[in-house]
Amino acid sequence: QVQLQESGPGLVKPSQTLSLTCTVSGGSISSGDYYWSWIRQPPGKGLEWIGYIYYSGSTYYNPSLKSRVTISVDTSKNQFSLKLSSVTAADTAVYYCARATMAPYAFDIWGQGTMVTVSS
C-alpha cells in the first residue's frame, strides 16, 4: 500500500526558507492519477492547503501563499518537495504531505506529519 513520509528540519530561523521532502513508497508518483499536495496545521488550529504538484511538474498554489511557495517533484526518487520562503512564527505548524485522487479530489492518503518551528 502507498505510504507517504515527510522529512526535513524541525527548526527554521525567521526570514529563512523552510524545506521539506515527501517520499512516496508502495506506489509510483508518476502514475498520473493523483495530485501530490502539502497541507499544514498550526498548533491547535485547523488545516490549510498549501499547494499541489502533478507528476509532470505542473503546480497550483494557495493564492494566500503563492508568492512564497515552490513545490517540485523528483520522479527518479519518487519524492516531491516543498520550499516556503521568508518564514515567520506564523508558519510554525505540522506539515503534512498528502495524495489527492482525481475525481473526487479528496485526500485519501496522508503522511504522519512533521512539526516545523520557526524561531531564532
Q: Does 54 bind another protein (CB under 8 A)?
A: no
Residues present in the chain in total: 120
Identified binder of another protein from the candidate list 22, 23, 96, 116, rule CB under 8 A: 96
Per the structure block, which three cell numbers stand in for 33? 492519477
Q: Please check whether residue 31 is in contact with residue 12, taking contact to mean a CB–CB distance below 8 angstroms.
A: no
Residue number with CB closer to another protein (16 or 100): 100
Q: By CB under 8 A, tell whether 46 contacts another protein.
A: yes
The only residue of 60, 70, 78, 85 in contact with another protein, by rule CB under 8 A: 60
Q: Which of 63, 88, 90, 120 binds another protein (CB under 8 A)?
A: 63
80 touches another protein by CB under 8 A: no
Minimum gap (Å) between residue 37 Cβ and another protein: 8
HEC assignment per residue over 43-94: CCCCCEEEEEECCCCCEEECCCCCCCEEEEEECCCCEEEEEECCCCHHHCEE
